[in-house]
Amino acid sequence: METVGKSFTRVDARGKVTGEAKYTNDLMPKDALWAKVVRSTIANGVVKSIDISEALQVPGVVRIVTCFDVPDIQFPTAGHPWSVEAAHQDVPDRKLLNTRVRQWGDEIAAIVAKDNVAAERAARLIRVEYEEYEPIVTIEEALAEGATPLHPDIRKDNIFVHTSFKTSPDFDYDKAKERAIEEYGEENLIEVSDTYRTPRIAHCHIEVCTSWAYVDTNGKVTVVASTQIPHIMRRVIAQALGWPVGKVRVIKPYIGGGFGNKQDVLDEPLNAYLSIVCGGRCVCLELSREECVSQTRTRHACKGVLRGLATKDGKLLAREGDIYTNKGAYASHGHAITAGMTTNFKDIMHDAYGCRSDGYSVYTSSAVAGAMRAYGVPQAAFLADCLTDDLCAKGGFDPLQFRMDNCVPPGFVASNGITYYSYSLKECMKRGAEFIHWEEKRREYAHQEGPVRRGVGMSIFMYKVGVYPISLETSSARMILNQDGSIQVELSATEIGQGADTVFSQMASETTGITMDKVYIISTQDTDVAPFDTGAYASRQSFVTGKAVKKCALELRARILDYASYMLGRPAEELMIWQNQICEKIHTGTAAASDRACTVTASSPTGAGTVTDAAPTGT
């Protein structure tokens, strides 16, 4: 290959290294108003009244809205593709501002002022009367008998969703244990039963969550936001306002990290609403670092109540797990992450008799949990590996060999119907062990004493890209041939620091035959003009958007060669593009300049095209 597989300087490197790259607030108009969210000082209860009289007296205050003023519309916030089937839609359990308080710091009012100092001063003068309930911070408190349901209009208790997965419909752990005793004898079995926990984690991306919004002369609200999901955000803002999608526009400039937190729609709908009630003036809503940590999204804290059964010669027989995740006050990404944990826990090992894995997403009056890198897989890997290591410790097994003998095999078909055609798990373990000198260090560290000791450990996990088969993955690409033979590449897949724009540029160059220095990718996404894409999440973009880039590039190349065929009087099948030149094909992989070689230019009337690719993802 000419381009793919080679090392290139990132296409966004210079702008980011020099500080010339423009992020959301770098582009904000100087006369923008500033908004400040007023947050609840209780974790669970109801707002009875809000007194804004003193706050209105602060010089510079333009407008104050409370939870009693906003539209009575509940909307979802997850960065998921939208389904026309109600059963597959994200749960609408949030409003722009909330009278029912479900977490400390819940949004109950907002102040718009001429500067952030006035907004902060006014926020401290807001007086709120609450009907306060007992906080429900932990999973155990939320599941306790008599606990107040946080969303009684959606669920009768605080279990948001419960799902159960089994390797076979009739599997039962206790029956499997009885069978094992009969076949191997109780004295030849090892069992571990324990509870394992993972903590809540904040994303801590460098750029805080921020946006600014205004209404144009045609009544369309435009939101400029640091987001991974511009087209999905557009739809969610429209849902929150009760507006047509076409009256909402979202622009995503460079983004200073997201890691899944910005795969959720956060305060951008509220920002749009504040601009609307301020006569369309530009309003900026920037969260502080403290607000980003406590009031946006986090990784799910989880508790796994697990059991595992193996023979004393190292054969894994059965496992079961009840995995509870602390969802926090709102649904966000719903049960998808918890379901991913439970299936990943079940699927990573091969149990001779079988495995059961139940997942419970639990509402609590604490910080909302949503997407974070690997979407539940780190928690699942931690739970599965803790149980595996405890079995190894109890049985005296080598953790590496135990996993080699009992991990998921090639060709495995997962619960969602996806077949693992790609499989390198055992080879990965083998190479990793060689790289860190696993066996030597195991021997060296075997008989240590004292309070400080050394050790080696390992963990395995598997991860699929995209959201198929829950939703159909869709992506689009547009390429335009410029007058000098360079090309513009426009996508709505978002560059969030992971190098996507460079990868897509390489794909476009490789497929068209136009060199990298003549490929210009547009890193700013604008939903009014950029072709549709669901955004950056689930490690999907190289695989899904990459296919759209390739298809679009193939179509553009075909149009160029078709016109070149007309100009040169040669069949298009005999021509190719190589290093910006129309060349004669000699045989596969080589080319020679035609005796009437042409430089690629936009003299053809067919120099632009858009291709949408919709395809199921694999692993």
Task: Specify if 4 maps to a domain.
Answer: no
Q: Distance (Å, rounded) from C-alpha 67 to C-alpha 364?
A: 21
pLDDT score for 616: 41
Contacts of 444 (CB under 8 A, 6+ apart): none
Calculate mean pLDDT across residues 446-470: 89
Q: Distance (Å, rounded) from C-alpha 505 to C-alpha 541?
A: 13
Name the least confident of 83-92, 160-169, 532-541, 556-565. 83-92
> What SS3 state is found at 166?
strand
Task: Specify if 83 maps to a domain.
Answer: yes
pLDDT score for 603: 52
Q: Per residue in 137-183, pLDDT tens? A: 999 999 999 999 999 999 999 999 999 999 999 999 999 999 999 99
Calculate mean pLDDT across residues 176-195: 98
Task: Specify if 460 maps to a domain.
Answer: no
- Last residue within a domain, chosen from 399, 428, 444: 444
Q: Are residues 308 and 266 in the same domain?
A: no
- Last residue within a domain, chosen from 295, 318, 344: 295
Quick one: which of 331, 328, 265, 330 has its CA closest to 300? 328
The 3-state secondary structure of 498-565, one letter per residue:
CCHHHHHHHHHHHHHCCCHHHEEEECCEECCCCCCCCCCCCCCHHHHHHHHHHHHHHHHHHHHHHHHH
And the tokens for 527?
């939903």
CB atoms inside a 10 Å sphere around CB 597: 14
Q: Distance (Å, rounded) from C-alpha 255 to C-alpha 208?
A: 10
Q: Do residues 357 and 165 touch, judged by C-beta distance below 8 A?
A: yes
Q: Are residues 543 and 437 in the same domain?
A: no
Q: Per residue in 222-244, pLDDT tens? A: 999 999 999 999 999 999 999 99
Q: Domain range for residue 516?
A: 474-614
Q: Per residue in 94-126, pLDDT tens? A: 999 999 999 999 999 999 999 999 999 999 999
Q: Are residues 391 and 317 in the same domain?
A: yes
Q: What is the CATH number of the domain that holds 404?
A: 3.30.365.10
This prediction has a pTM of 0.93
Question: Where residue 601 falls among pLDDT bands split at 50, 70, 90?
Answer: low
Q: Do residues 82 and 235 touch, judged by C-beta distance below 8 A?
A: yes
**How far is the first Cα of the chain from the last one, in angstroms, to the nearest whole number?**
24
- Tell me, what amino acid is at 264? D
Q: Are residues 332 and 272 in the same domain?
A: no
Q: Distance (Å, rounded) from C-alpha 193 to C-alpha 460?
A: 21
Q: Distance (Å, rounded) from C-alpha 230 to C-alpha 533?
A: 8
Q: Are residues 124 and 227 in the same domain?
A: yes
Task: Specify if 7 maps to a domain.
Answer: no
Task: Specify if 455 maps to a domain.
Answer: no
Q: Per residue in 295-306, pLDDT tens? A: 999 999 999 999
Q: Do residues 10 and 499 touch, judged by C-beta distance below 8 A?
A: yes
Q: Are residues 286 and 308 in the same domain?
A: no
Q: Distance (Å, rounded) from C-alpha 76 to C-alpha 80?
A: 10
Using the predicted structure, report yes or no on whether residue 311 has a pLDDT greater than 80.
yes
User: Cα separations (Å) of 615 from 183, 507, 560?
Assistant: 47, 18, 26
Using the predicted structure, report yes or no on whether residue 54 has a pLDDT greater than 50.
yes
Q: Are residues 50 and 164 in the same domain?
A: no
Q: Are residues 224 and 102 in the same domain?
A: yes
Quick one: which of 530, 559, 528 has its CA closest to 545? 530
pLDDT score for 371: 96
Task: Specify if 565 maps to a domain.
Answer: yes
Task: Specify if 304 maps to a domain.
Answer: yes
Q: What is the CATH number of the domain that holds 235?
A: 3.90.1170.50
- Last residue within a domain, chosen from 295, 325, 356: 295
Q: Are residues 183 and 52 in the same domain?
A: no
Task: Specify if 496 maps to a domain.
Answer: yes
Q: Are residues 216 and 184 in the same domain?
A: no
pLDDT score for 595: 45
Q: Are residues 286 and 305 in the same domain?
A: no
- The percent of residues above 90 in pLDDT, for the chain, comes to 88
Tally of domains within the chain = 3
Using the predicted structure, report yes or no on whether residue 580 has a pLDDT greater than 70.
yes
The 3-state secondary structure of 218-251, one letter per residue:
CCCEEEEECCCCHHHHHHHHHHHHCCCHHHEEEE
pLDDT averaged over every residue in the chain = 93
pLDDT score for 453: 95
pLDDT score for 363: 98
Burial per residue of 174-196, b for 16 or more beta-carbon CB atoms within 10 angstroms, e otherwise: eebbeebeeebeeeebbebeeeb
Calculate mean pLDDT across residues 299-317: 98
Q: Are residues 257 and 396 in the same domain?
A: no
DSSP H or E run through 211: strand 210-215
pLDDT score for 86: 86
Quick one: which of 575, 557, 570, 572 has its CA closest to 611? 557
pLDDT score for 589: 52
Burial per residue of 337-359, b for 16 or more beta-carbon CB atoms within 10 angstroms, e otherwise: bbbbbbbbbbbbbebebbbbbbb
Using the predicted structure, report yes or no on whether residue 468 has a pLDDT greater than 80.
no
